[in-house]
Amino acid sequence: MAAHGSANFNEDRIMSSAYLSIEGVSIEFPTPNGPFKALDHVDLKINKGEFISLIGHSGCGKSTVLNIVAGLYQATEGGVILDGKEVNEPGPERAVVFQNHSLLPWLTAYENVELAVKTVFKGKMSKAEMRDWIEHHMKLVHMDHAMHKRPDEISGGMKQRVGIARALAMQPKVLLMDEPFGALDALTRAHLQDSLMEIQNEINSTVIMITHDVDEAVLLSDRIVMMTNGPEATIGQILDVELARPRERLVLADDPEYNHYRAEVLRFLHERHAKPDVPVSKPAAEPKEVVATQTETVVEKEEGPQLKLATSEGKSKQEEVA
Amino acid sequence: MATAVLDKLESIGGFSPLVKLARGQQPLEQINTMFRAVGVPILAFLIFLMLWSAAASQVNTSLGQLPGPAQVWHQAGGLWEEHKAERAKEVAFYERQEKRNAAKLEKNPDAKVKWRTYNGRPTYFDQIVTSLITVFTGFLIASVVAIPIGIICGLNNTLYTALNPLIQIFKPVSPLAWLPIVTMVVSAVYVSDDPMFDKSFLTSAITVTLCCLWPTLINTTVGVSGIDKDLINVSKVLRLSWFTQIRKIVLPSAIPMIFTGLRLSLGVGWMVLIAAEMLAQNPGLGKFVWDEFQNGSSNSLGRIMVAVFTIGFIGFILDRGMLALQRWISWDKSAVLR
């Protein structure tokens, strides 16, 4: 099995030029009742500047995928290659935004970001440059007015903003977000999503975000990766979201194409309670094509004409913008 | 101006009913609050004194009647008078020596003069100071040893499993059991013609160390091992060096537990010290109690009772001091500490 995995590894490496590739990743956790296989052959290629959402039911191993990319877990089989280098330990080029913000409660917002900046840019930036860099990122997340407050003095949404600032200030190659807005109320979440889109517009970083929220996934992502339920979870379907950017929440609320994507994800989540019957042997190699056929087959069964309408509309829209 | 002072006072805890009373806000309620906060403890103390007085008069010992509050107060005054008399004698001694030597030098500038230090009996207050120095020496040694070991045990589960049985075995050992061993070891190891410390001091301090090591060690371990896993992940993502991780993440998050341990340790140390001083004859409060017991005068029981109150009061102050230190060092000013 391992030999097979490594053979695949080399082959894919030559064939693809993806920025970040997750290749045949499986992971087993030892338990008293024998090993528990949480992930089974997860393959995913991500291009530079792409915003990917991982969505799936609770306990399906979304966080495990993220932790493997972060280097916090080691895959049992397969591996992760980022910018031509294999990932085998955590590091600041793969910054993580944790669900519960994980700010050091004894440091102010500024000091929290400073700790990261001082560690990552030690010897590469002068003190003044570091200060500018930190303040720039505080402005980016709209936290410049409260940057000298401690985490217990600011709201949950603000804490998460600081968490994002800390991650971005590390200048990561890929930003990993583990349900970043999961613990926030709906309004705050919407604000943060808008901020995140604004930031993404500006710096165009590569992002993997885990979410439970279908709207969030459709609104923010370039591609939505839907995972089957665990154990032995894997990628069930990948949906390309070809909505033009910049995206406006209010405009999209009435947009049929947006609603189509939304329905698509919802349907997946409702239908796939078990492992999918559709074999997804190598979806990551040509993700776009596979997805296209998959969406069409699913949709044709239930609402064929509408899809065609939606896609053509979306394409013409994109052309207009371009 | 007056209102500014009142505002300031109000912000300090405990004064707010008084301030509100001064402002004339619901005077009855304020008086009621004040009575509950201050009046009730005072009343309880008065009842205690009355019961004590009544009970003491019923007990006759070979040293006379058990002293009541009045006799103890009288003895406390006596100890203060003795202290003042001793200090006066000391001053007089140095004055006499000064005069004598000056006179000698006047007659013959080359004369050899002797300067002697006053070797009077230590007073009760000198003994308190000795006890404090001894307990802090022991406590500091214990803290310096226990905190680092606690941190390492908290981070490394294997080491914790290895050390835990030893900790559990040594933790409940009485100072009285350690003392003979410590005495013999100090006598054997600490051999010097011009000793910097008395052996009795070292024996007492080390005994204190051996007994107040454990609460700090155990609490530090628990505090360190209970660090939020996400914070450890943050430090992994940042690739913090081991030392930076300890300094920036482990220590701050374990501070509350470390202080809980230190407070317990200091309490244990102070309690143990009295017993250690009794047997090691270190000239502190323990020796005072022992000497009074051996002395067996009609004043002895009263004087021992004064020592009992002194020990209790100092113990209380030490605990409050540690609490204040914790408040000052801890980042979480909103935490309720009691």
DSSP A233: B
Q: Is the pLDDT of residue A1 over 60?
A: no
pLDDT recorded at residue A273: 55
* Residue of chain B nearest A169, judged by CA positions: B238
pLDDT mean across residues, chain A: 80
> Looking at the partner chain, which of B240, B253, B332 has a beta carbon nearest the beta carbon of A119?
B240
Count other Cβ atoms within 10 Å, centred on residue A109.
28
Decide which of A284 and B313 is more confident.
Answer: B313
Per DSSP, the three-state class of A226 is strand
pLDDT at A191 over 70: yes
Using 50, 70 and 90 to split pLDDT, how confident is the model at A244? confident
Q: Do A104 and B248 touch (CB under 8 A)?
A: yes
CA–CA dist B290, B304 (Å, integer) = 9
Mutate to test the interface with B, among A64, A68, A98 (most CBs of B within 10 A): A98
Determine whether the interchain pair B244/A119 forms a contact, defined as Cβ–Cβ distance below 8 Å.
yes
Rg value, chain B, Cα: 27
Mean pLDDT (whole number) for A180-193 = 88
Total CB pairs under 8 A between chain A and B: 52
**Looking at the predicted structure, is the pLDDT value of residue A316 above 90?**
no
Categorize the per-residue pLDDT at A320 as very low, low, confident or very high, splitting at 50, 70 and 90.
very low
In the CATH scheme, what is the homologous superfamily, with its name and number, of domain B124-329?
MetI-like (1.10.3720.10)
Tokens 């002797």 belong to which residue?
B114
Give residue B316's identity as a one-letter amino acid code.
F
Can you give the pLDDT at residue B315? Answer: 95
pLDDT tens by residue, A245-273: 888 888 888 889 999 999 989 888 888 65
**Across A26-35, A113-122, B9-18, least confident range:** B9-18
With CA atoms as reference, the chain B residue closest to A108 would be B331
What per-residue confidence (pLDDT) applies to A242?
A: 87
Q: Is A204 left (phi over 0), alpha (psi -120 to 50) or beta?
A: left
Instruction: List, for chain B, all residue ranges whose pLDDT scores fall below the cut of 50.
Output: none
Touching A: B residues 298-337, CB under 8 Å: 331-332, 334
pLDDT tens-digit series, residues A92-112? 999 999 888 889 999 999 999
In chain B, residues 234-273 whose CB comes closer than 8 Å to chain A: 234, 236-240, 244, 248-249, 252-253
- SS3 category, B274: helix
> CA-CA distance, A322 to A245, in Å (whole number)?
10
Q: Which H helix or E strand runs over B65?
A: strand B64-65
pLDDT at A229: 83
Of the pLDDT bands very low, low, confident and very high (cuts 50, 70, 90), residue A315 is very low
Q: How deeply is B178 buried, as exposed, middle or buried, from its count of CB atoms within 10 A (0-12, 13-18, 19+)?
A: buried
Under an 8 A CB cutoff, do A70 and B237 touch? Answer: yes
Shortest distance between the Cα of A319 and any Cα of chain B, in A, equals: 41
Cα separation of B288 and A318, whole Å?
A: 93
Residue A46 phi, psi (nearest 5): -125, 130
H helices, E strands: number in chain A: 10, 10
Distance in angstroms (rounded) separating the CA atoms of residues B228 and A218: 32
Asked if A104 lies within 8 A of B234 by C-beta distance, the reply is yes
> Of the candidates B207, B214, B197, B215, which has an alpha carbon nearest to the alpha carbon of residue B275?
B207
CB < 8 Å to A174, chain B: none
Determine the Cα angle at B290 with ends B284 and B294, to 5°. 140
| pLDDT tens column, B4-45 | 777 766 666 566 777 777 777 778 888 888 888 888 989 999
**Distance of alpha carbon A106 from alpha carbon A213, whole angstroms:** 31
Q: Which of A23, A107, A2, A106 is nearest to A65 (CA)?
A: A23
CB of A241 closer than 8 Å to CB of A255: no
State how far the Cα of B181 lies from the Cα of B203, in Å rounded to an integer. 9
CB contact under 8 A, A72 and B234: no
Q: Residues of chain A with pLDDT > 70: what percent?
A: 79
- Each domain of chain B, given as residue ranges in start order, spans 2-58, 64-107, 124-329
Phi, psi (deg, nearest 5) at residue B336: -85, 120
* Cα gap B249→B224, rounded to integer Å: 10
* Of residues B175, B248, B250, the one with CA closest to residue B220: B250
Q: What is the number of residues in chain B? A: 338
Asked if A92 and B230 come within 8 Å (Cβ–Cβ), the reply is no
Q: What is the pLDDT of residues B294-328, one digit of tens each?
A: 988 888 899 999 999 999 999 999 999 999 898 88
Cis peptide before B41 (omega within 30 of 0): no
SS3 of A232, please?
coil
Distance from the A107 Cα atom to the nearest Cα atom in chain B, whole angstroms: 8
- Whole-number pLDDT of residue B49: 93
With beta carbons under 8 A apart, name residues in chain A contacting B334.
Answer: 152
What angle in degrees, to the nearest 10, is found between the helix axes of B300-329 and B124-155? Answer: 40
Please tell me if residue A154 touches chain B, with a CB cutoff of 8 Å.
no
